[in-house]
């Protein structure tokens, strides 16, 4: 399948989605927002991630490395929400959680 998207557009989409997933995980961890709505949104994020992965794989190795990291962070953050906080966190969420603990 030919990638119909320009690499710069794919870069923006993946990073925006990754930031969106991180915000969901932060809200879940902080206890803000309705859990059902956060989980629904996390499922939507995962669905969009599924459609983006084949496009990422078509890029050159350098572009793939950056987008793979952003994609993986997004997946881990969304899965953290969907697991009720049971699954491993992304590195960025780990540091966010450490910050929450230090404020208590």
Give per-residue pLDDT as tens, 18-35: 999 999 999 999 999 899
Write down the pLDDT at residue 2. Answer: 57
Write down the pLDDT at residue 3. Answer: 59
CA 59 – CA 68 distance, rounded (Å): 10
Spell 40-51 as b/e; 16+ CB within 10 A means b. ebbeebbebbee
pLDDT band for position 4 (cuts 50, 70, 90): low
Given a contact cutoff of 8 angstroms between Cβ atoms, the answer to whether 43 and 80 are in contact is: no
Q: Is the pLDDT of residue 1 over 60?
A: no
Percentage of the chain beyond pLDDT 70 is 95
Write down the pLDDT at residue 74. Answer: 98
Please state the rounded mean pLDDT for residues 44-60. 96
CA 8 – CA 44 distance, rounded (Å): 23
CA 68 – CA 74 distance, rounded (Å): 10
Q: Supply the pTM of this predicted model.
A: 0.90
Close Cβ partners of 9 (under 8 Å, ≥ 6 residues apart) = none
Average pLDDT, the chain: 92
């Amino acid at each position: 399948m030919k990638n119909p998207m320009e690499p710069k557009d794919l870069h923006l989409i993946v990073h925006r989605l990754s930031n969106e997933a991180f915000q969901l995980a932060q809200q879940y961890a902080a206890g803000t927002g309705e859990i059902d709505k956060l989980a629904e949104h996390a499922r939507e994020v995962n669905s969009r991630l599924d459609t983006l992965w084949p496009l990422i794989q078509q890029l050159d190795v350098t572009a793939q490395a950056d987008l793979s990291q952003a994609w993986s962070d997004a997946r881990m953050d969304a899965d953290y929400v969907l697991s009720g906080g049971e699954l491993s966190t992304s590195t960025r969420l780990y540091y966010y959680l450490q910050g929450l603990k230090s404020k208590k």
